[in-house]
Amino acid sequence: MHSREEKLQAFGRLLDIMDDLREKCPWDHKQTFDSLRENTIEEAYELATAISRHDMTEISKELGDVLLHVVFYAKMGSETGEFDIADVCNRISDKLIFRHPHVYGDEAARNAEEVSKLWEQVKLREKGGNKTVLGGIPDSLPALVKAYRIQDKVANVGFDWKQREDVWDKVHEELRELEAELRKTDGGEKEAEFGDLLFAMINAARLYKIRPDNALEHTNLKFIRRFNYVEQKAHKQGKALKDMTLEEMENLWQEAKQSETATSPAAQTRH
């Protein structure tokens, strides 16, 4: 690993390159906060993908892309005299110190759960911070992640189930309401009832310390992997998927599942 001096030198090098690009590169020179916004969101998702795959080389690469955007915005801020990279660093440092009174002050927190609750309480007291419990949740968050954050924030101020097992009664209640709505001729509230069921399931995930977005992404990747197997096997048999029966595709699907089981670390250990 690099020394502190080497890390500072590397960061300074990036700042110098950003100065050069902003002055000498026509593309970089014409960018604005608005024009970079979509790119920044894309870079964040690419980093999230690398993290979900636990690819450390790719994570390092994508972190660099995200850092470039931080430096880019700070450079543009300095050109208008609004802020620069020092302001960015100092503001986050000040915020971290203020929000960690158990490290830099007299508060006590014995575990991560207590820290999380203290965090929300401190943010409500923070000058210029969130004025309401849910005030800091970005509007543009994906709905699944937003639901989790909503539930997490209200739980940190005591609005939560007394026993986590109690949440299943709510899940079953919402499922019954959705099924009843779907049986209706019009089914005008089916989207709302489906949303209620999803919200309850996300709440259950939180209570059992499961990140629903990660869980769903792992299932997405698993489905893609298995369906690709089905498609490849069909191709080797000289068949197109659209010409196969559902039973034929299901047989290949089961093959894919068995193939994964046979190559899993647990299966290898048993053998």
**How far, in Å, CA of 141 to CA of 104, rounded?**
31
Whether residue 231 is contained in a domain is answered as: yes
67 & 19 share domain: yes
> Tell me, what CATH number does 28's domain have?
1.10.287.1080
**How far, in Å, CA of 233 to CA of 249, rounded?**
10
Residue-wise pLDDT for 122-164, tens only, equals 777 766 666 788 888 888 888 999 999 999 989 988 899 999 9
- Confidence at residue 102, expressed as pLDDT on a 0 to 100 scale: 83
Whether residue 64 is contained in a domain is answered as: yes
- Confidence at residue 179, expressed as pLDDT on a 0 to 100 scale: 95
Q: What dihedral angle (degrees, nearest 10) is formed by the CA atoms of 166, 169, 174, 179?
A: 160
Number of domains in the chain: 3
- Confidence at residue 259, expressed as pLDDT on a 0 to 100 scale: 87
36 & 77 share domain: yes
* Mean model confidence pLDDT for the chain: 89
197 & 223 share domain: no
User: Any idea which residue has 């595709």 for tokens?
Assistant: 249
Structure tokens at 218: 């792992």
10 & 58 share domain: yes
More confident residue, 45 or 77: 77
Whether residue 154 is contained in a domain is answered as: no
- Confidence at residue 157, expressed as pLDDT on a 0 to 100 scale: 84
- Confidence at residue 265, expressed as pLDDT on a 0 to 100 scale: 53
Whether residue 89 is contained in a domain is answered as: no
17 & 45 share domain: yes
**How far, in Å, CA of 214 to CA of 232, rounded?**
27
In this model, does residue 271 exceed pLDDT 50? no
204 & 242 share domain: no
Whether residue 123 is contained in a domain is answered as: no
**Average pLDDT rounded to a whole number, residues 179-206:** 92
Whether residue 239 is contained in a domain is answered as: yes
**How far, in Å, CA of 182 to CA of 167, rounded?**
23
**Residue that is last in its domain, among 210, 227, 249:** 210
Whether residue 156 is contained in a domain is answered as: no
Structure tokens at 208: 């059992």
**Residue that is last in its domain, among 60, 83, 106:** 83
168 & 217 share domain: no
In this model, does residue 263 exceed pLDDT 70? no
- Confidence at residue 11, expressed as pLDDT on a 0 to 100 scale: 96
In this model, does residue 166 exceed pLDDT 70? yes
Residue 242: DSSP 8-state: G
More confident residue, 250 or 126: 250
Q: Strand runs (DSSP E) across 84-129, as ranges?
A: none
Residue-wise pLDDT for 66-116, tens only, equals 999 999 999 999 999 999 999 999 999 998 898 888 888 877 888 887 787
What's the angle, vertex CA 210, arms to CA 204 and CA 216, rounded to 5?
95
Q: Contact 196/177 with Cβ under 8 angstroms? A: yes
What is the DSSP track for 46-84?
HHHHHHHTT-HHHHHHHHHHHHHHHHHHHHHHHHTTS--
In this model, does residue 270 exceed pLDDT 50? no
- Confidence at residue 202, expressed as pLDDT on a 0 to 100 scale: 97
Q: How many CB atoms lie within 10 A of CB 151?
A: 20
69 & 15 share domain: yes
205 & 243 share domain: no
Rounded to two decimals, what is the model's pTM?
A: 0.64
201 & 173 share domain: yes
Q: Contact 217/52 with Cβ under 8 angstroms? A: yes
- Confidence at residue 190, expressed as pLDDT on a 0 to 100 scale: 93
224 & 206 share domain: no
- Give residue 38's domain range: 4-83
CA atoms within 13 A on the CB side of 168: 4
Q: Contact 53/60 with Cβ under 8 angstroms? A: no
User: What size, in residues, is the chain?
Assistant: 271
Whether residue 271 is contained in a domain is answered as: no
**Average pLDDT rounded to a whole number, residues 213-241:** 92
In this model, does residue 262 exceed pLDDT 80? no
Kindly report the backbone phi and psi dihedral angles of residue 44, in degrees, each rounded to the nearest multiple of 5, phi listed first: -65, -40
249 & 179 share domain: no
**How far, in Å, CA of 61 to CA of 16, rounded?**
19
